[in-house]
A = this chain, B = another copy of it.
């Protein structure tokens, strides 16, 4: 998965490849921290000065729609985005530096079954996120 692949995906869905979209895609793709629209705007404008904030919003919207990025929910806010994980993955966030990592291998089947029985709910999905200190920030 490369930034160029994201552009292909956009193209395959009938969207045009523009300098503005390239700048936004290049900025979020490969970012190690979740970025808010304004952070994307500031960073992407270093690559393409004429970029407008509105276009950032519109591009983020399309990338989210294609599941190439996903919103990151944090105690301080829920406006930031990060490249989406592939398959069934969850987020691990560093509380100090904000670094984002993905992990998989959560097995919640026993839990969801037990909760379903107790509550009468039919469980459809779950949302799991871990917070802590990354190797760098621990030191």
Binding site for B on A (CB under 8 A): 73, 78, 92, 94-95, 101, 103, 105-108, 111-112, 114-116, 118-135, 138
Number of copies: 2
Partner of A121, one of B118, B122, B132: B132
Which residues from chain B contact A116 at a C-beta distance below 8 Å?
132
Is A103 a contact partner of B119 (Cβ separation < 8 A)? yes
**Minimum CB–CB distance for A16 against chain B, Å:** 29
Contact B124 A138, beta carbon cutoff 8 Å? no
Query: Contact check: which of B115, B128, B129, B133 meets A103 at CB < 8 Å?
Result: B115
Contact check: which of B92, B112, B129, B134 meets A130 at CB < 8 Å? Answer: B112
Let me know if A125 and B120 touch, CB within 8 A: no
Q: Are A121 and B92 in contact (CB under 8 A)?
A: yes
Q: Is A95 in contact with B124, judged by CB distance below 8 angstroms?
A: yes
24 interchain pairs (CB within 8 A)? A73-B73, A73-B127, A95-B124, A101-B119, A101-B121, A103-B115, A105-B111, A105-B114, A105-B115, A119-B134, A120-B135, A120-B138, A122-B133, A123-B131, A123-B132, A124-B131, A125-B132, A126-B128, A126-B129, A127-B127, A127-B128, A127-B129, A127-B130, A128-B129
